[in-house]
Structure 1
Amino acid sequence: MAYLAMFHWGWLLGSLLLGFVVGWIAVVHRGQGVSKVTSRWLAALVAVLVVAALSRVVPGRPGYWLDLGLIMFALYLAGCAVGSWLRDWVLSRHTAAA
Structure 2
Amino acid sequence: MPYLISFHMGWLIGSLVLGFCMGWISVVQRGSGTSKVTAWWLAVLVAGLVAASCAHVVPGRFGYWLDLGLIMFACYLVGCTIGAWLRDRVVARSQPAA
TM-score by length of 2: 0.92
Superposed, 1:1-98 pairs within 5 Å as: 1-28=1-28, 30-95=30-95
Unaligned runs of 5+ in 2: none
What percentage of aligned pairs have identical amino acids?
A: 66
1:31 offset after TM fit, Å?
A: 3.4
Q: Distance in 2 between matches of 1:40 and 1:54?
A: 21
* Alpha-carbon distance, 1:32 to partner: 3.5
Alignment length (residue pairs) = 98
TM-fit CA distance, 1:28: 3.4
Higher helix share: 1
Runs of 4+ in 1 over 4 A off after TM superposition: none
Runs (5+) with no aligned partner, structure 1:
none
Deviations 1:55-92 (A, max 9, x none): 11111111100000000000000000000000000011
What root-mean-square deviation, in Å, do the aligned CA atoms of Structure 1 and Structure 2 show? 1.5
Q: Scaled by the length of structure 1, what TM-score is found?
A: 0.92
Give 2:68's aligned amino acid: L
Cα distance in 1 for partners of 2:19, 2:43 equals 18
Q: Give the AA of the match of 1:70.
A: L
